[in-house]
Structure 1
Amino acid sequence: MAAFLILLLGGYTALDAHDVVPGVLTRTPPWPEAEPFPDVTGAMLTAAPDDVPAVSAQAPVPSTEQLADLASSLVAGGAAGSAPGILVTDVLTGEDLYGARSGDAYVPASSVKVLTGLAVLASYGGQHRFVTSVVDGGGSEGSDVVTLVGGGDLALAAGEGDPGSVVGHAGLGDLAAEVAAELAAQGRTEVQVALDDTLFTGPELAPRWGPIDISGGWAMPMTSIAVDIGRRDGTVVRSSDAGMDAAEAFADALAAEGINVSGQVERSAAPEGASELGAVESAPLRDLVDVTLRDSENVLSEALGRMTAVATGHEASFAGAGASVLDVLEELGLDTENNSLADTSGVSSQSKLTPRLLTDAVRLAADGSHPELVPMVTAVPVAGLEGTLADRLTNTAATGWVRAKTGTLPQAVALSGMVTTADGRLLAFTVLANDFELGSAYLARVAVDEWVSALAACGCS
């Protein structure tokens, strides 16, 4: 296990390498002739090699007293409030090194996505793909109808798909071409299009999703099918009916393939046992999780939560998704007591999580005991380099040595992930702060960043 951790989690380079390994190797002959190795001018190092820590199973473990001093500094500053929840755990041994209010429930903001990513990977596996299909029948009686069935892929392209992309991997244009060819083979030249988006149920908006969340593109009415995660024309603004937008895009693409599409698209459940006319598949789940956690993509996270509900037999609603995520984590042996999820993205301030559950989830994904969960580890952003941490923790001891999921709401700041200390010890950690002064979330976030930077710099044995 120690060797696994050293190879997998020994800093940014090793983790980044893990992201690109799939698909590189082949056993198919003939082997290509090697190209001449190019002359490369090396970039200037930002740190001398002797300054870069390395993960080691023999690395000193930080002392509880030293970690308590760091936590006292965080609280004494006041910016993070008087009672943040903190937990620091050694990944290799699972020993809790320091905790403060680790079992108390806090509004977690987007740190929720750590749990959503973990649960959906445990439910399906990282190579799973969500299917968008078209089946025969449905709609109004007496009409020749084909039904577009949403299968949980909200990252479709309106036209051709791009196999090299995650968002836009599968295309409705490609689906239309496949369906048109099948219809032509059957001698059918005119159809009506129906939309079956019944996979997701319940309210379209979660508790405490406000108008600003919708207008700012942080959320949208949930649906089981969408183009470009519901974004309109590449902007941050999301559709108020992304499912119908996708169906109309498919109808237009079908017409462009020479099929006469009659009438308006209508909503209708697909007939039971209907024959399939065509289907396209999403990018692998591990890639969808990567985009979700790296960019803190709320709508994708909600879709992944609902697909976890589908996999586990729960209702695919906000309530069912939250319950299913916690149930999966409990089955993995994590303590879910005192935790509740009103959504699976963290937009809702009604969700409550403990530092215990978040830290244990990170540690479980990182300790090598569940290889299927590793994509969650590699999906969380690297400090100072990518995603929602690209402009945070820069030029600090944490740069490149912290992977963590961020979370920010007006009255909540969260950071949960992994850090390699200056001594080379890999730790899982969570900080949740809710009781800071209203309007000072930025200052709270700065204080948390200073704390995790000090943790990374820790020669605290």
Structure 2
Amino acid sequence: MRRDRWVALVTLVLLQIFVVAAGAHLLTGDALVRREPEPVASAKPPPVPVITAGPVLAAGGNGPLPAKGTLAQRLTKALGDPALGGSVGAAVLDAQSGAVLFGSGAGEGITPASTTKVVTSVAALASLGSDARLSTRVVRGASPGTIVLVGGGDPTLASPRAAARQVHPRPATLATLASRTARALKAAGTTRVTVAYDDFLYTGPRTAATWKPGYVPEGSVAPVTALMLDEGRASPGQSGRVADPSRATHAAFVSLLSRNGIKVSSSARRSRAPAGAREIARVDSAPVYTLVERALTLSDNDLSEALARHVAIKEGKPASFDGGAAAVGAVLARLGAAEGVRVFDGSGLSPRNRITPQALARLVAVAASPDRPDLHAIVAGMPISGFSGTLGHRFDRLRSAHGLIRAKTGTLDGVNTLAGMTTTRGGRLVTFAFMADDVPPGWGKAEAALDRLAAVVASG
């Protein structure tokens, strides 16, 4: 690698570290179903510039293809690591042409775990658009003196304590919504109200039939509702979740409204807002592209489930687990990337999800394509080897690969996956997916084996 290209690469990596570090004070709690959770996120704002390409795209596609024979020999040997177990698949593609550079079980469906979030995120960007926002509103109720808190499916809506922990992007806050509501009510001469809440944007069960019963109690995810504060956490920074996020958010709003001088005369009541009701106040989330970055960087289960439901709404499907899965599939079909993908949720917590390594590597290539700038937030959001997100603590023994790999991790009991991209030593952008879903016990061994596979590709 020439000196000038190396300097440019290091500069981009350091800049990305700065951007990620700005959001370091985030909540955690992705996959508590395993021995140690993948960190999860919290919210971020639009004004801060985002690196939409990143270091691995510095010379993407310009160099020669790696020698297939050498690459195959080295990867085949690394795939034989017993830490990966007996069900392993791999695919490496040239990002520019889509040519398969290496495949082993590449067409076999494997449990993807959190690499499912790549699928959800691509669908969200392609369907909703990068600049869409999720709104939480307060509207007039059907009777005088009644207002309705209307959930818009923004799980990043934050309490004052949670908002204080975050730097980028700034989340919408319930305190701001309460303040705006109180100001509007007082301007209209109203100081006493009854407050109902509407979380009917979503339909169906709040937990997936394919999820393990322990996911919510363990804090891996909250019950999925359209009205949620701090991603349903009982306390900011903690993994524990409340049983009913909608009701808890309503209670917090009532308390904040009271602090702003509005008396609330009744207890919680779930009720649909009247059609065409006049809006009193609202707050909006960060744009979808930053929500996608967060979902990928810190493997945010709650946000990924919300994004899947918003895809369902945009695609005219029920905002449920089934509707979200169907809508995501429809969007991928339009992109020509649906083959080999079968999902039952948006987060990857479902052990029934199946994605082939080739399909996953192909989807990463689509997201990195110069022809699809609308999908480049996928690249920006992927963790960087040895530096950020769920890869920040990995590649310890592969320091030569630090900063050279962007990839999404996936972890469930018995499952470890890694899908992403890198620029080879010769300057060729390639995408990859390494997946194992029969992993024997042994904390960290399978992850280390996957990291070695990615490092082999980067050095090819």
On whether the aligned pair clears a TM of 0.5, the verdict is yes
| Residue aligned with 2:399, SS | coil
Q: Is residue 72 of structure 1 aligned with residue 73 of structure 2?
A: no
Please name the residue that 2:126 is paired with: 122
Please name the residue that 1:145 is paired with: 146
Please name the residue that 1:135 is paired with: 139
Tell me how far 1:440 sits from its aligned partner.
3.9
Matched AA of 2:76: S
Tell me how far 1:266 sits from its aligned partner.
0.7
Q: Quick one: which of 389, 402, 406 aligns to 1:403?
A: 406
Q: 2: CA distance between counterparts of 1:88 and 1:137? A: 56
Residue pair 1:154, 1:303 contacting (<8 A) in 2 also: yes
Q: 2: CA distance between counterparts of 1:239 and 1:310? A: 25
Please name the residue that 1:417 is paired with: 420
Q: 1: CA distance between counterparts of 2:377 and 2:9? A: 15
Please name the residue that 2:457 is paired with: 455
Residues 308, 180 of structure 1: CA spacing in aligned structure 2 closer, same or farther, 3 A cutoff? Answer: same
| Residue aligned with 1:397, SS | helix
| Unmatched 5+ stretches in structure 2 | 20-44, 50-55
Q: Which protein is bigger by CA-based radius of gyration?
A: 1
Paired-residue identity, %: 37
Q: 2: CA distance between counterparts of 1:53 and 1:96? A: 19
Stretch of structure 1 that moved more, 406-415 or 123-132: 123-132
Q: Is residue 62 of structure 1 aligned with residue 66 of structure 2?
A: yes
| Unmatched 5+ stretches in structure 1 | 1-5, 26-51
Q: Quick one: which of 262, 265, 275 aligns to 1:262?
A: 265
Q: 2: CA distance between counterparts of 1:396 and 1:162? A: 34
Please name the residue that 2:26 is paired with: none
Please name the residue that 1:303 is paired with: 306
| Residue aligned with 1:79, SS | helix
Please name the residue that 2:255 is paired with: 252
Please name the residue that 1:32 is paired with: none
Tell me how far 1:408 sits from its aligned partner.
0.9
Equivalent positions of 1:268-307 (< 5 A) are 268-307=271-310
Pairwise CA RMSD of aligned residues?
2.6
Q: 1: CA distance between counterparts of 2:285 and 2:227? A: 11
Please name the residue that 1:446 is paired with: 448
* Offset from partner CA, 1:184-219 (integer Å, 9 cap, x none): 222222111111001111111113322432222111
* Offset from partner CA, 1:404-434 (integer Å, 9 cap, x none): 0000111211100001222222110001111
Please name the residue that 2:158 is paired with: 157
Residue pair 1:156, 1:167 contacting (<8 A) in 2 also: no
Please name the residue that 2:243 is paired with: 240
Equivalent positions of 1:330-345 (< 5 A) are 330-334=333-337, 336-345=338-347
* Offset from partner CA, 1:159-201 (integer Å, 9 cap, x none): 4967974576211121112112222222222111111001111
Residue pair 2:222, 2:231 contacting (<8 A) in 1 also: no
Q: 1: CA distance between counterparts of 2:212 and 2:257? A: 37
Q: 2: CA distance between counterparts of 1:431 and 1:260? A: 57
Residue pair 1:158, 1:172 contacting (<8 A) in 2 also: yes
> TM-score scaled by structure 1?
0.85
Q: 1: CA distance between counterparts of 2:58 and 2:265? A: 64
| Residue aligned with 1:267, SS | coil
* Offset from partner CA, 1:113-136 (integer Å, 9 cap, x none): 111111111122222211110010
Q: 1: CA distance between counterparts of 2:228 and 2:76? A: 47
Stretch of structure 1 that moved more, 53-62 or 311-320: 53-62
Please name the residue that 1:382 is paired with: 384
* Offset from partner CA, 1:254-288 (integer Å, 9 cap, x none): 11111110110110111111100111111122221
Equivalent positions of 1:2-401 (< 5 A) are 11=9, 13-14=11-12, 23=47, 55=59, 57-138=61-142, 144-159=145-160, 165=167, 169-234=171-236, 235-334=238-337, 336-394=338-396, 395-401=398-404
Residues 70, 64 of structure 1: CA spacing in aligned structure 2 closer, same or farther, 3 A cutoff? Answer: same
Residues 70, 360 of structure 1: CA spacing in aligned structure 2 closer, same or farther, 3 A cutoff? Answer: same
Tell me how far 1:75 sits from its aligned partner.
3.1
Residue pair 2:130, 2:288 contacting (<8 A) in 1 also: yes
Please name the residue that 2:52 is paired with: none
Aligned residue pair count: 420
* Offset from partner CA, 1:213-250 (integer Å, 9 cap, x none): 22221112111121111122221111211111111111
Q: Which has the higher contact order (CA 8 A, sep 6+)?
A: 2
Q: 1: CA distance between counterparts of 2:126 and 2:60? A: 28
Matched AA of 1:225: L
> TM-score scaled by structure 2?
0.85
